Every structure is written in structure tokens, then in C-alpha cells.
Structure 1
Amino acid sequence: MHRPRIRFGERHVHLPRSRALRLLVGGLFVAGGLLGFLPILGFWMVPLGLLILSVDVPVVRRWRRRAAVWWARRRRARQGLRP
């Protein structure tokens, strides 16, 4: 079985093989991000946690895919407007 990974542009980040561990890590990132007003923790943790959860949670996977399609269409439209 291949090891799950997520992609940031050109980079690939490997995730734990255990589904339970991925859910725990993703949930902790989201929970930590909701406490982003505290030092060390930050709101940047929410999207990262959702990205990790998207490997195993179909609803979050759909949100990620919709955001990726929206972003690609937006970039394509902007590139078409530039000379």
C-alpha cells in the first residue's frame, strides 16, 4: 500500500499511514487553529488541518476539490486578461 501524501505546489508531504493518526493530527491542527489568537498557535493551522483531513473525510475532500477548481479557473481568467 502506498503512503498517503499531500501536495503543495511542486512539493509532496508524506502523511502517517494510520488513518486514525491522520484524523487525530488533522483534528488537532484545526482545533489549534481555532485558538489562533494565542501565541505559537495560528489561524494558518485551520487550512493545513483541513488539507490533512481531506485525505480521509469525503466532505472535506469535496471542499478541497471545489477550492482547487475555483482557484484554477480564477488563475486562468486572470492570465487571459493580461497582455
Structure 2
Amino acid sequence: MKRYRPSEPQTRRISILGREFAMPRSRGLRVGLGVALCILGLLGFLPVLGFWMIPLGLLILSHEFHVVRRVRRKLIVWWERRKRPSG
């Protein structure tokens, strides 16, 4: 287990389907990557590109912008309530 050292900048990580991936350290690069994935995801009908890029871009942007983060959290709560058996 790696210990946090105050002199080292903390690496941002993103968790997708139980696996963790490191995101770029630069905020501008993270925002650019998230926006590019969302825009290119709109062209999902073309080969190679796909509509899967839109949620991935929004997930990356949710680490930078509170509005996107709030919507993501509401979606997670809604999904968990929907999965729970009623009774």
C-alpha cells in the first residue's frame, strides 16, 4: 500500500467497472479530454467512434465540475434505488 506524501502531488484516479485508471495531472488536459470524448461520442454512428465515449467524457468532467458531479451522483442514487427490490 502506497502512503501519501505531502511533497508528491496526488494522482487523480478514475474507477470504471472496479478497475482504477490514472488521469492526467494537468487540469486543462483532463477537461480537454472529457470535452473531446463527449464531442466525438456524438459521432458514434461512425466506425471506431462510439456513443460509449459520452458517458466516459462526462465521468472525467465530473472530477472537475461540481454541476456534472452532482448529476452523476443523482444518477447513481436513482440507479441503486431502481435495482433494489421493492417490498
TM-score band by shorter chain is 0.7 to 0.9
* Structure 1 segments of 4+ aligned residues over 4 angstroms from their partners: none
For the aligned residues, what is the CA RMSD?
1.3
TM-score of the aligned structures, taking structure 2 as reference length: 0.82
**Pair 1:17 & 2:25 matched:** yes
Query: Structure 2 CA distance, aligned partners of 1:62 and 1:40?
Result: 30
Number of aligned positions between the proteins:
79
- TM-score, L = length of structure 1: 0.86
**Runs of 5+ consecutive residues of structure 2 not aligned to the other structure:** 1-8
Q: Distance in 1 between matches of 2:82 and 2:10?
A: 33
Q: 1:36-83 deviations in whole A, cap 9, x for unaligned? A: 11111111100000000000011110111111111111122x3x56xx
Deviations 1:10-43 (A, max 9, x none): 2111111111000000011001101111111111
* Residue of structure 1 aligned with 2:43, choices 35, 38, 45: 35
| Other-structure match for 2:75 | 67
Q: Deviation of residue 9 (structure 1)?
A: 3.3
Q: Percent identity?
A: 53
What runs of 5+ residues in structure 1 fail to find an aligned partner? Answer: none
